[in-house]
Amino acid sequence: MSVHGLTLGDVLGEHRRGRPLGVAAVDAHVRLTYPQLDERVNRLANALARDGLAPGDRVLWLGRNSFRVLELLLAGARLGAIFSPANWRQSADELAFVLDDLTPEVVVFEESASVDEARARSSATARWVRSGEEYEAYVRGAPAAEPAVDVSPADPVLALYTAAFDGRPVAALLSHSALIAHAMTMLHIRQMEDGFTFLDCGPLFHVGTMMFCLATFQIGGTNVFTPAYEPKEVCRLIEAERCAQAFLFGPMIDQLVEANSGGTYDLSSLRFVSHSPEWDAMITVDDSPWCASKMGGYGQTEAGGMLTFLGLGRGGQGHAGRPSPLVHVRILDAAGAELPPGETGEICARGQSLFSGYWNRPELNEAKAAGGWHHTGDLGRREADGTLTFIGPKLRMIKSASENIYPAEVERALRSHGAVADAAVIGVPDPRWGQNVKAIIVLREGASTPAEEIIEHVRSEIASYKKPRHVEFAESIPKKGHVPDYDALDAAYGGGGYPGA
């Protein structure tokens, strides 16, 4: 063990000593101090080790938000293992893919039809532990001593599935060091102080929620967990737990305003972004660089969350601000040469919060790390004042609300319908959600099927939020080489509103 090393398990151990009365996690009737969380994490780690979990092995969570997500991450951290919270909204086919791809040694799950079907479809062998009383017995049945495992801060500890560039997602691996570095940057930009309380009402399989969960943990604050976003319950929890921050964006805020229209709940503890006169009157408008800049910047899962922050470039020419103090960003051309200000190229980065590569994707990892830089797959531009502008993905992406939707993934699901000969997907502007998905379909000769059936088919194959809201039938799909000509499709079918546009 190096004198300079620091892992997530070390952070928890320090909080146990330094914050013996501090509340680490709240989840319905569960309220854990840091010493209590530390003991449970040790017991869980010993239970996992008893089932054969070793350094580098994987643990998978199949369920909604829960304090158990943080426990499992920290237990994996104590063993040098890798924890992955899967997107519980995925279809059985998608969940089966994750099981076969990640090959976890242990799966902790909440019961659902999709999970049952995925388990039956998957060839992966694992120890399955049902969330609830079975999980609690699993934790209680193991000793409370901290496992004697030498864990390197450079070891990957968290795997988040992302970037379905080829129609299937990949798991980005984030190390202890990367997560701690990103958390420290978030602490600075958000100006998080002692006693900070975060409401985990966004999905914890999403880096946007996870990065705040871990920053709150890093400072020894309180994470309040709720299974999923429900406006009245979010209002109640903000008041009851005096939450200072939550995972919220425009439409969610509008729903909270409506849910609290009679002033039933006191939301003044929430120090958040200005949004509307009604919202601003309910909360405390925050003046930290993070909130004052509208929580802006450029990020991706592979950067641990945010790579650049508007809070570090307020008033600048670039729409994405400046990089985190712990990373370097360059705009490179196709040959790997840096481009001068004003020219568009690929956003490339390296630094302490960058990921360790994708799970089991050696060829992709080699390409992504070419020249010693992480190639984000996104286009950007350095402005004359040094700030950065995000242009958009090199491979097209649709963004509906806070969710990234990759056309290749939806197109794969569309083409699996027996009546579909070819398909392409574009994003169309939506005033509420940013974009909606539109599918352009070529039917097989002699086939006939209504748009509603195609939409329902996609919903059965992948997560519901990825399904098309609109379907157009066409004689053919214009192509550039072997891929759809998305520019031509946008022009013909009303596409637009892409991220960065």
- Tens digit of pLDDT for each residue in 12-28? 999 999 999 999 999 99
Burial of residue 301 (CB within 10 Å: 0-12, 13-18, 19+) is buried
Within-domain flag for 297:
no
- State whether 61 and 191 are in the same domain: yes
**In 122-229, where does DSSP find H-type helix?**
133-140, 176-190, 207-218
- What token pair was written down for 487? 């520019």
pLDDT in the model for residue 217: 98
Higher pLDDT, 163 or 132: 132
At 458, the pLDDT band (50, 70, 90 cuts) reads very high
Q: How many residues does the chain have?
A: 501
At 167, give phi and psi (nearest 5°): 100, -10
Report the alpha-carbon distance of residue 243 to residue 311 in Å, rounded: 22
Report the alpha-carbon distance of residue 16 to residue 91 in Å, rounded: 39
At 148, give phi and psi (nearest 5°): -90, 75
Which residue among 330, 361, 393 closes a domain? 393
Within-domain flag for 313:
no
The CATH number of the domain where 89 resides is what?
3.40.50.12780
> Taking the model in full, what pTM does it have?
0.87
pLDDT at position 55 over 80: yes
pLDDT in the model for residue 420: 96
Which residue among 197, 225, 253 closes a domain? 225
- CA-nearest of 76, 66, 74 to 131 is 66
**What is the residue type of 299?**
G
- State whether 245 and 375 are in the same domain: no
- State whether 113 and 171 are in the same domain: yes
The 10s digit of each residue's pLDDT in 203-220 is: 999 999 999 999 999 999
Place of tokens 């309040």: 224
Within-domain flag for 479:
yes
Which residue among 174, 206, 225 closes a domain? 225
Within-domain flag for 97:
yes
At 11, the pLDDT band (50, 70, 90 cuts) reads very high
The 10s digit of each residue's pLDDT in 87-138 is: 998 999 999 999 999 999 999 999 999 999 999 999 989 999 999 999 999 9
- What token pair was written down for 453? 């059936």
Within-domain flag for 305:
no
- State whether 405 and 429 are in the same domain: yes
Domain of residue 486 covers 400-493
- State whether 68 and 204 are in the same domain: yes
Distance from chain centroid for Cα 375: 19
At 501, the pLDDT band (50, 70, 90 cuts) reads low
- State whether 172 and 62 are in the same domain: yes
Task: Specify the DSSP element, H or E, that contains 282.
Answer: helix 277-282
Q: How many domains does the chain have?
A: 4
Within-domain flag for 141:
yes
At 412, the pLDDT band (50, 70, 90 cuts) reads confident
pLDDT at position 245 over 90: yes
Which residues lie closer than 8 Å to 292 by C-beta, 6 or more apart? 286, 311, 314
- State whether 387 and 464 are in the same domain: no
CA terminus-to-terminus distance, the chain: 48
- State whether 161 and 218 are in the same domain: yes
- State whether 78 and 154 are in the same domain: yes
The CATH number of the domain where 331 resides is what?
2.30.38.10
Torsion sign (Cα): 481, 487, 491, 493:
positive
Within-domain flag for 499:
no
- State whether 157 and 85 are in the same domain: yes
Within-domain flag for 306:
no
Candidate from 28-42, 170-184, 360-374, 475-489 with smallest mean pLDDT: 475-489
Could you write out the three-class secondary structure of 297-346?
A: EEEEHHHCEEEEEHHHCCCCCCCCEEECCCEEEEEECCCCCECCCCCEEE
At 208, give phi and psi (nearest 5°): -65, -35
At 391, the pLDDT band (50, 70, 90 cuts) reads confident
Regarding beta strands 344-351 and 374-382, do their DSSP bridges make them parallel or antiparallel, or are they unpaired?
antiparallel
- State whether 19 and 76 are in the same domain: yes
pLDDT in the model for residue 500: 67
- State whether 330 and 437 are in the same domain: no
